[in-house]
Structure 1
């Protein structure tokens, strides 16, 4: 696996990393609708050697039919660029898919009941991992204690992460696996862990996984992504998240022919959340990135925590009564460490990034970027497309600064869908005025800030069309963007965030990362009715997309191609596997 961080990493195409070897077959897909800027009325395309070789109309497809290895009848289905999930924790997502799902628990009693049933169905001695509880939605307040977890599981090691993945409930046996947690910040009474104590517990769980368990979890997550039309994920790893062993195993899996029955797996673009200051020099930063096979030092390099766990760093205190008076969240990095990280990464030609949710945390990152630009020049900073993950609470000044500095924001619209409604968690934590500023997607696009959409799975589930819907139908109308802009941020935006300006659209010469959908009527949805009205006129040449209105049924994924090879084929679409000579 190749990484080129030291000279011009923005020139490294996504297709060159972790790509399974493209099948030496040329396949014509015809008889559908192809979402392509090359031809807004296209019905067919040719995939050759992992790239899009031709896009056009049905009449012209006849000329290609005799020169290809196989022809697939799309039967009216929609072909689009495949999605990129720009923020994922693959192993944790897989463990959530194969472990205990606590989404929808409405009380401590409900959580304990689910845990007890899961424990009875699990081999004794196994670490019990669960995810998804959200006490901000519980009808009866109060968290279970470590003693409660011990009681319903017979003393098994248990770690149950909150939905935001910034705090967790741990049993007594689990805490014995991470004895250092007792002396770290965030070790609370009753087994609730946040901050450094939570990180220690997560590392203990990850370290206890066997190679087979890890591989099973990673395969499950990547297979789920492929089944949803996702051809690439950005893995946000780091020493406070998992381990080098976990990251290297994931990259090795993705680089090989790791899919079931010879199918491809989604590409993995890796970020490692280690501070450059810990490495000392720019040359050491470059060497570290090359050794890991990572795209950059960033992802979940924590500046702050989360709003749900009251650890996002704010300019002014939290508003909810459940928080200590005057509490403004938690800073995990000092301004000096942030600036040093950005300086060393920029000198090394390595993309840097941070996890920053609260307005004070975002301020600290932007301050560090401006300091770096003063020392090394604004062009050097802008060229690397340094990233901020989440960046939820921004005012107009922060938006303008992001645009000026060339920052890429990796954001998660599903957060608003989960917590942004009137009376929801955002409003309870921040008050109505600040909550109204959360996730201002429209303002960011107007300012020219590049957006890359993701899920932060397992915090919110993998679900790209749900993400597009959440951005197009934000709880605050002034923050809504068109479905087309949201779709672009979740496809092309993910590739651009890693320096690949070619992938993410279906045009000749682009990597054949594409998805085939069973969809209803194609429409144009925009916040401004006048824009939508013109865009639906055939003279505009605007390709339509599936209806993502909250009342509409979202598309089903029929097939996903990664660099021209099937990664997912639905049960009723075996012709896609047959065209590439794969198992059904």
Structure 2
């Protein structure tokens, strides 16, 4: 391969792009975010590894005639983001199908459904409606879906994917639906009824459609600087074919890496057989706040008749942990409400009594979402070496005055949710993700949400939030060397056009005492109110370019 001129390299950065891996590529004339050299402007990649980080002159001397030179033109190079909680196929279905996120009213959602039915044949799969933001203040009824869609089977998942509106045509195909917990003839289905309806709806997706959806999600992620996805699958989510198909596709086609978690109780051996890295992910201990299925210690503020649903008790959680430890596999649990998190904490304690605390801690078992934590529950996470896999976009979307959290819990309880600072302050490892399609793949938005939450006492620095969304995702996989641009590291990174770099959040200690704007501390994009969002120019996964943008 002939060495291009630097002007050619600049055009390559903004061109259509190629997924071919260069033997050696020198990236120069930028800002490289690396602990190896806080003043680095260049990065040399050979194969799938970082060979050198430093100044332009030193990097060019080390390059020995690189096969390709990319002029960064002042762009910022950072480790690629890791989204620690994703549902790849469902996200892709939303990207390619009926996306109801942001619809301003129930009427608008029904109109969108009618237009979609007129333009597309087959089962209607939609996602993203949120009645808490609608003036009608309620979800669609079965009768309203039937009027909008006629005799078409319709499955419309609520934004949290823990309940769904379903048409009569779809309901009629689900055996025994009327006898399942969570069934209602006119209202959205929840709990077991929802799982049954979702299973039938997703079974309508052909293997080709499923693969297209998975490709769409991986391409969408790559365009946002994401280099790895933690897929959370399971028998009640997408099924085995969906899970193994995604892992095979990701292994064969360029794009972000995919690491699978299989959520099935006491099935650590099966998880390994399926190619999973862990027996967890969305292993449901409870549901979600928006659907009023998250398990609370006291009733919901807007429905005193329910305190949610606990799907697993401490004994079952302990059994799953013990099974995972004995198979050398990481476990993980979906837990949002304080009653669910208390059951998880008790389950950890019971498991430690069986396998030993040290043996349990080394597994870095995960708690997904971990929203309603108090001091005692945080202490339990610390004691048992658990990882908190969290989604700050939830707080950004549903927190604050008048938000869904306040509606469901009341202001006092809502203010306690998502205590990032309390967790980070005592050393609980944080891994950030989106839970897409629940919230969008938007990594800088996730960092901003954790650094500037509605309740400032929960805020962590931009630097800490960035680490949780990059290195934290690798640490959650047990890979402590991931997420850093240092010699010898895997070359998975992204290049960003950034208007302004800042040291950290305004109240950070380093920013207060530093008199040198660099001072050996690297800057990150300004993310506060009014800041222009960074724009992804290139994403590289293990040395191969998987996205380039204008």
SS at match of 1:36: coil
Alignment TM-score, normalising by the size of structure 1: 0.89
Using the TM superposition, give the Cα deviation of residue 531 of structure 1 relative to its aligned residue in structure 2, in angstroms: 3.3
Using the TM superposition, give the Cα deviation of residue 529 of structure 1 relative to its aligned residue in structure 2, in angstroms: 4.9
Q: Give a deviation string over 1:67-91, Cα, whole Å, max 9, x none.
A: 3111111111110000000000000
SS at match of 2:203: helix
Aligned counterpart, 2:272: 290
Q: Does 1:267 align with 2:257?
A: yes
Aligned positions of 1:524-563 closer than 5 A: 524-526=503-505, 528-534=507-513, 537-538=516-517, 540-563=519-542
SS at match of 1:540: coil
Q: Does 1:452 align with 2:428?
A: no
Q: Does 1:80 align with 2:62?
A: no
Q: Give a deviation string over 1:166-198, Cα, whole Å, max 9, x none.
A: 100001111133233322111112151111111
- Pick one of 342, 349, 353 that aligns with 2:321: 342
SS at match of 1:561: strand
Using the TM superposition, give the Cα deviation of residue 538 of structure 1 relative to its aligned residue in structure 2, in angstroms: 4.6
Given that residues 524 and 535 in structure 1 are in contact (C-alpha distance below 8 angstroms), is that contact kept between their aligned partners in structure 2? no
Unaligned runs of 5+ in 1: 1-20, 259-263, 280-284, 573-584
Given that residues 87 and 457 in structure 1 are in contact (C-alpha distance below 8 angstroms), is that contact kept between their aligned partners in structure 2? yes
Aligned counterpart, 2:95: 97
Aligned counterpart, 2:149: 153
Given that residues 352 and 360 in structure 2 are in contact (C-alpha distance below 8 angstroms), is that contact kept between their aligned partners in structure 1? yes
Q: Higher mean Cα deviation, 375-384 or 242-251?
A: 375-384
Aligned counterpart, 2:67: 69
Alpha-carbon RMSD: 1.5
Using the TM superposition, give the Cα deviation of residue 504 of structure 1 relative to its aligned residue in structure 2, in angstroms: 0.3
SS at match of 1:190: coil
- Pick one of 157, 161, 165 that aligns with 1:165: 161
Q: Does 1:134 align with 2:113?
A: no
- Pick one of 185, 200, 219 that aligns with 1:223: 219
Q: Give a deviation string over 1:417-471, Cα, whole Å, max 9, x none.
A: 0011112111111111111110000000001000000000000000000000000
The runs of 4+ residues in structure 1 deviating greater than 6 Å are none
Aligned counterpart, 1:391: 370
Given that residues 417 and 474 in structure 1 are in contact (C-alpha distance below 8 angstroms), is that contact kept between their aligned partners in structure 2? yes
Q: Give a deviation string over 1:100-153, Cα, whole Å, max 9, x none.
A: 111122332221111111111113xx1111111111111113332222212222
Aligned counterpart, 1:255: 251
Task: Identify if the C-alpha distance between structure 1 residues 160 and 69 changes in structure 2 by more than 3 Å, giving closer, same or farther.
Answer: same
Aligned counterpart, 1:193: 189
Separation (CA, whole Å) in 2 of partners of 1:536 and 1:225: 38
Unaligned runs of 5+ in 2: 1-18
Aligned residues: 532
Aligned counterpart, 2:285: 303
Alignment TM-score, normalising by the size of structure 2: 0.94
Task: Identify if the C-alpha distance between structure 1 residues 43 and 364 changes in structure 2 by more than 3 Å, giving closer, same or farther.
Answer: same
Separation (CA, whole Å) in 1 of partners of 2:261 and 2:50: 28
Separation (CA, whole Å) in 2 of partners of 1:529 and 1:381: 34
Aligned counterpart, 2:14: none
Separation (CA, whole Å) in 2 of partners of 1:176 and 1:248: 30
- Pick one of 166, 176, 180 that aligns with 1:180: 176
Given that residues 22 and 563 in structure 1 are in contact (C-alpha distance below 8 angstroms), is that contact kept between their aligned partners in structure 2? no
- Pick one of 103, 108, 114 that aligns with 2:112: 114
Aligned counterpart, 1:210: 206
Aligned counterpart, 2:443: 464
- Pick one of 26, 29, 40 that aligns with 1:28: 26
Separation (CA, whole Å) in 1 of partners of 2:237 and 2:56: 49
Aligned counterpart, 2:389: 410
Separation (CA, whole Å) in 2 of partners of 1:433 and 1:293: 43
